[in-house]
Amino acid sequence: MGEAKRRKQLDPTYGKVPLLSSQGQREKHLSLLLEQLFGQFDSDLKHLAEAETETASNYNQIKNKLSAWLNDKLAEYRSCDRTEIAGSLLAFRAEMTEEYVNSPLFLKCFSEALLPFFPDEKRLELEKIIQQIDTDLAAASSI
């Protein structure tokens, strides 16, 4: 069996999407992904950013749509690249939160949608952040 056939059997994405080995390639793919993300979810993300509590009427619907969309889009990449892109999306989310959006729901939604793309250690770290957000939201709603 040829090397290409063997690699294709081991990795179904082999040859379909380039290995994002350079910083330029990663930035280009991240930029395209963000453009598509905000093109599709702009109003939903604005809704979350403006929401004060977890009573945002369609939080679960937005989170589920975002998760499904990310699963679909990131499935095109190799697992190492998926983790890299998810990390970049997480960094982007943190930057958005610091500069523009001070919404715990926005932060929580992105964190929950990105959970499946990280190794266990990073996933535990994100779950702690999500738990803290839940605690803060519960405290805010009981005041």
Domain layout of the chain by residue ranges:
23-48+57-141
Q: Which residue has the higher pLDDT, 106 or 127?
A: 127
The lowest-confidence range among 40-54, 62-76, 78-92, 114-128 is 40-54
Helix pair angle (59-74, 104-114), 10° resolution:
40
Q: Which residue bears the tokens 């945002």?
A: 56
The lowest-confidence range among 18-27, 38-47, 105-114 is 18-27
φ and ψ of 108, to 5 deg: -65, -45
Q: pLDDT tens digits for 85-123? A: 999 998 888 887 776 667 888 888 889 999 999 999 999
**Token pair for residue 78?**
């190799």
φ and ψ of 130, to 5 deg: -60, -45
- Flag whether pLDDT at 15 surpasses 80: no
- Flag whether pLDDT at 128 surpasses 90: yes
**Token pair for residue 126?**
């994100």
